Amino acid sequence: MFEWLGENWWALWLTVFLAFAVVEMLTLDLFFIMLGGGALAGLIADFAGADFWLQIVIFSVVSLLMIVFVRPVALNHLRKGPAEQLSNIDRLIGQPALVIEAVSSTSGLVKIGGDVWSARSAAGVMDPGSTVQVTKIDGATAVVASAADNSPL
């Protein structure tokens, strides 16, 4: 077994690359994929006939260069977009909602853009069928106020 591995270092480099790829899929921080790129460089060096010590040096240098130069550029492209762009629940704040079940200071249901949310009122009781405005999201509960009252909490 060890004799075969000593003659076929490419198998080790391929295994290391696959391990880094799996860890990258679990972490999604673009660090381990850079190490995987170094492992691929070691694999190519093995196919080119380089000694094992040189393959390790190539792995180290390529990994370091990718972490220093490629990773920051890739992270910038992932975060590309306007800074003021809202995502997820932040988009719901200020949106109109339809009261489905009477909303009080403790419970109720509203429909926001096709989704039904549990809700509570910022002030007073809101009757079914009335239109309200989302002022805050607290966990999985929308805090709403009457559409006429635009004061955020």
Give the model confidence (pLDDT) of 28-55 as tens digits. Answer: 899 999 999 999 999 999 999 999 999 9
Same domain, residue pair 32 and 72? yes
107 contacts 120 by C-beta, under 8 angstroms: yes
Domain annotation covers residue 25: yes
What is the pLDDT, as a whole number, of residue 82?
Answer: 66
Q: What is the pLDDT of residue 81?
A: 65
Rounded (5°) CA angle 90-94-96: 120
Residues 52 and 107 reside in one and the same domain: no
pLDDT at 84 exceeding the cut of 90: no
Whether 151 shows a pLDDT value over 50: the answer reads no
Say if residue 58 is in the same domain as residue 93. Answer: no
pTM of the model: 0.54
Tell me: do 6 and 73 sit in the same domain.
Answer: yes
- Which of 3-12, 20-29, 58-67, 138-147 has the lowest average pLDDT? 3-12
- Which residue is it, tokens 């990718």? 66
Full domain range(s) for residue 11: 2-78
End of a domain among 78, 107, 124? 78
- Within 8 A by CB and 6+ apart from 50, the residues are 58
Number of domains in the chain: 2
- CATH classification of the domain holding 96: 2.40.50.140
**Could you tell me whether strands 115-121 and 109-112 are parallel, antiparallel, or unpaired per DSSP bridges?**
antiparallel
